[in-house]
Amino acid sequence: MTRFPALALVMAAAVAIAAPFFLKPFGIFLISTWAVLTIAAIGLNLTLGYAGQISLAQGAFVGMGAYTVALLTPLGVPFFGAFFAAGLLCFAIGWVLGYPALRVQHHYLAFVTLAFTTLVFLVLRNEEWLTNGIYGITGTPRPTLFGLKASSARDFYFLCLGVLALLSLAIWWMLRSPWGRAFVALRENPIRALSLGLDTRRYTLMAFAIGSSLGGLSGALYAPLVQFIEPNSFALGLSLNLLLMVIVGGSGNFFGPFVGALVAVLLPEWLRLTQGYYLIVYAAAIMVMMAFCPSGLLGLAERAGRALAGPRAVKKTSMPTEGAGP
């Protein structure tokens, strides 16, 4: 695991809990978006950062999760039923997609997932009888949990935060298990892992499927958050955005997705000074970052931390966090 002062974690959690009390509805909407996207980014981080597979399909899984909830809840299915259904569905589809696709090398998987995302978009758009097509679905209701309504901005934020916290804990636990260590072995050297007797394909497949199901769960929260979903929101753009989040935060780093999602959500706001040019600035910033610290913001922080700490900083369980190689 990455070395991480417990104090920093507690502080961050405190900020996350206190924040909505100081923000207007728009601000609360932003941090709710952050929480929801972080879930998807964690999933992609699992696939990319830990298992070393380039996936451009995460956006499609978010979309499938969102549509599952948006279609089931009006039929009377309770929200958490639809939520789990979304996760299960995406796990299954991830498994089926991954099974043949993971036989090929990394850069080919990128193209397969790219093609898959576009195909999913086409189906969502053309099958109007199912998805209401290009018109999208409006007004997905926000859930009621144990009798408490979560429809106000602040309440819904806490719901998203809660789900994020639970899922993060689950993934943390999973990664600390022997199972999780196998993932990292895969990334570092698949051939060697194979020679050590690891069924690499099974582990990679699991990583991809779990990552995809997290995408679905993220989508399940996205639908009641934005309350309008249409096929265009889940096309290639979202997959690329999530990819950038994971990379910018620090791929392979447990907290990378949190930071990456924060940057992605807040950056447009900070760059609003640059008027319509903010996309150019964003793109340029990414390119510069890739040239100087491809291990992302947390990688940069780690390097700085290690440099400051000096030679005595040799931690017990230190995982290298340099960007995944081919």
Partner 1 sequence: MFRTGLFASVIFASVGLAGPVLAQSTVYIPAILELSGAGAVSGTNFRDGMLLAIDEINAKGGILGKKIETPLLYTQSDAGISRAQVQKVLDNKPYVILGPVFSGSVLVDMLLTQQAEIPEIVGGEAAAITQKGNPYVFRTSFGQQLSMPKIANYMRDGVKAKTVGVLWVNNDFGKGGRDNFIKEMNSRDIKVVADISTESGQADFSADVVKLKGANADAIFVYLNEEESARFLREARKQGINKPLIGETTLLGQKVIDLAAGAANGVRGHVGLTIDAPIPAVQEFAANFKKRFNYACDHNGIKGYTAVYFIKHVTEKIGKLDGKAFAEAAHGITITPKDEPGILMEATWDKNGDIDRISFLGEVVDGKQKIVETLPKLGK
Partner 2 sequence: MASFIQLLVSGLATGAIYALIAVGFTLLWQTSQTINFAQGEFVMLPAFFVLAAMNAGAPFWLAALIGVALSIVILGILFKFIIVDPMFKYGVLPLVISTIALSLFLKEGVKDFYSSQAQSFPALVPASDIHVFGAVVSTQSLAVLAVAIVTVIVLHLLLTKTRTGRQMQATAQNPLLARILGIPVQRMVLYTFLLNAVLVAIASILVSPIYLAKFTNGETLGMAAFIAAIIGGFNQVRGAVLGGVILGVLDNLSAAYISSQYRGAFPLIILIAVILFRPQGLLGRIEERTV
DSSP structural state of residue 48: I
Closest to partner 2 by CB, 63 vs 143, is 63
At what angle are helices 236-249 and 58-72 packed, to 10 degrees?
A: 120
- Is residue 247 near partner 2 by the rule CB under 8 A? yes
Question: Hey, is 290 helix, strand or coil?
Answer: helix
Kindly state the helix (H) or strand (E) to which residue 135 belongs, with its residue range. none
| C-alpha radius of gyration, the chain, whole number | 19
Contact track, partner 1, 123-162, x by CB under 8 A: --xx------xxxx-xx-----------------------
Q: Which stretch binds partner 2 (CB under 8 A): 1-9, 120-128, 200-208, 221-229?
A: 120-128
For residue 243, the partner it binds in partner 2, partner 1, none, with Cβ less than 5 to 8 A by kind, is partner 2
CB of 98 to partner 1, least distance (A): 28
- Is residue 100 near partner 2 by the rule CB under 8 A? yes
Options 17, 284, 304, 313; binder of partner 2; rule CB under 8 A? 284
DSSP string across 175-195: HHSHHHHHHHHHHH-HHHHHH
Q: Which stretch binds partner 1 (CB under 8 A): 73-81, 160-168, 200-208, 273-281?
A: 273-281
For residue 136, the partner it binds in partner 1, partner 2, none, with Cβ less than 5 to 8 A by kind, is partner 1
Task: Report the alpha-carbon distance of residue 52 to residue 326 in Å, rounded.
Answer: 8
For residue 305, the partner it binds in partner 1, partner 2, none, with Cβ less than 5 to 8 A by kind, is partner 1
Hey, which residues between 190 and 219 contact partner 2 (CB under 8 A)?
191
Distances 76 to 5, 79, 141, 151 between C-alpha atoms, Å: 45, 9, 11, 17
The values of phi and psi at residue 103, to 5°, are -75, -25
Question: In the block, which residue shows the tokens 């689950």?
Answer: 170
Options 85, 240, 300, 319; binder of partner 2; rule CB under 8 A? 240
CB of 23 to partner 1, least distance (A): 6
Query: What single-letter amino acid sits at 320?
Result: P
- Is residue 273 near partner 2 by the rule CB under 8 A? no
For residue 286, the partner it binds in partner 2, partner 1, none, with Cβ less than 5 to 8 A by kind, is partner 2
The tokens describing 55, both together, are 């996936």
β-strand partners of 229: 137
CB of 269 to partner 1, least distance (A): 5
* Three-point CA angle 152, 33, 12, nearest 5°: 95
Question: Hey, is 146 helix, strand or coil?
Answer: coil
Alpha carbon 64 to its chain's center:
14
DSSP structural state of residue 56: S
* Three-point CA angle 175, 218, 138, nearest 5°: 175
Binding site for partner 2 (CB under 8 A): 54, 100-101, 103-108, 110-112, 114-116, 118-119, 122, 125-126, 191, 240, 243-244, 247, 251, 276-277, 279-280, 282-284, 286-287, 290-291, 294, 322-326
Binding site for partner 1 (CB under 8 A): 4-5, 7-8, 11-12, 15, 19, 22-27, 29-31, 33, 125-126, 133-136, 138-139, 226-228, 230, 232-233, 255, 259, 262, 266, 269-270, 272, 275-276, 279, 297-298, 301, 304-305
